[in-house]
Amino acid sequence: MILEDTRQQEKKHEVKHQYFRSAGIHWNRTALYCGDYTLPADQSICIDTKKDIAELIGDIQVKQMPKKEVKDKVYEICKNERISFALADEIYHAICDDDADRFAEKDINEICYKYALSESIIASFQALYVKRHGFFHRGLKRAQNSGIRLYILVENGDGVTCIDDLSHWHNPRLDTMINSNQMIGFWGNGKPRYKKVQKYPYAATGEWLAKACLTMEEKYGCKFLFCKPEESGSKILELLGVSPN
């Protein structure tokens, strides 16, 4: 028996599920503390899967909720709940200050418990922390602060098997061209001709992505691994130390 996080969409992981069935492995869907797969009795190892390299990029480049918006929201909640502005400021800093050397989620909880705030209010503040930093960052911090060995397993059909391969990966978005507003003449049929420009000029490069992964490995103690989609099921079992039946 292994555990699968409920955020994994059921019908989008059939390749893994088919492998688990063939290997005699049962899985139970439940909300996991971090990652997508772990063991019921020993969650010291967790695996976070990415369906492709594009999903990894999206997690790393998550758009953060601006600090001003976080502050406004915190103060709005506190005003509605008649919570002091001093406490609101304390909660705001717990959410937004650098969390490299602290456990922000724990700090938020401790402040809220100290002043006997309701669970729904605590959940609202925790949600703001996620909006500020992103789910991926929260998972990395949870694993780091809880002594969990976290593997990020990136499925791909691009032939990337390691971070070194990733550094040479070419992002197809860099090849996507569209017409700009700059007209440079006319086609033979009389229609205007426009200059072509890159649709995603700031798309992540393989070199940048590889450096980002190495930085996160050093900073959070996680490990990035890569495999073909059809290899994901067996790789998950291998990392969890589970032998197919």
Q: How far is residue 60's CA from residue 41's CA, in Å, rounded to a whole number? A: 30
Query: 133: closest CA among 106, 100, 111?
Result: 100
pLDDT reported for residue 243: 87
Distances (CA, A) of 92 to 65, 67, 109, 174, 224: 13, 9, 13, 38, 32
DSSP, residue by residue, 22-59: HTT--EEEE--SSSSEE-SS--SEEEEEESSHHHHHHH
Task: Compute and round to an integer the Cα radius of gyration of the chain.
Answer: 22
The per-type count for the chain, helices as H runs and strands as E runs, is 10, 8
Domain 2-62+147-169+206-240 is of which CATH architecture? 3-Layer(aba) Sandwich (3.40)
Q: Identify each DSSP E strand in the chain by its residue range.
A: 2-5, 27-30, 37-38, 45-50, 149-155, 177-186, 192-198, 223-227
pLDDT reported for residue 31: 95
Contact 62, 134 (CB under 8 A): yes
Strand-pair category, 149-155 with 223-227: parallel
- Give domain limits for the chain: 2-62+147-169+206-240, 67-133, 173-204
pLDDT, one tens digit for every residue, the chain (245 residues): 999 999 888 778 889 999 999 999 999 999 999 999 999 999 999 999 999 999 999 999 999 999 999 999 999 999 998 889 899 999 999 999 999 899 999 999 999 999 999 999 999 999 999 999 999 999 999 999 999 999 999 999 999 999 999 999 999 999 887 788 888 888 888 888 888 877 777 889 999 999 999 999 999 999 999 999 999 999 999 999 998 87
Provide the token pair at 66. Answer: 């601006």
pLDDT reported for residue 3: 97
pLDDT reported for residue 70: 97
Tell me which amino acid residue 160 is: V
Q: How far is residue 1's CA from residue 3's CA, in Å, rounded to a whole number? A: 7
- The predicted model scores a pTM of 0.87
DSSP, residue by residue, 178-208: EEEEEEEEE-TTS-EEEEEEES-TTPPPHHH
pLDDT reported for residue 236: 97
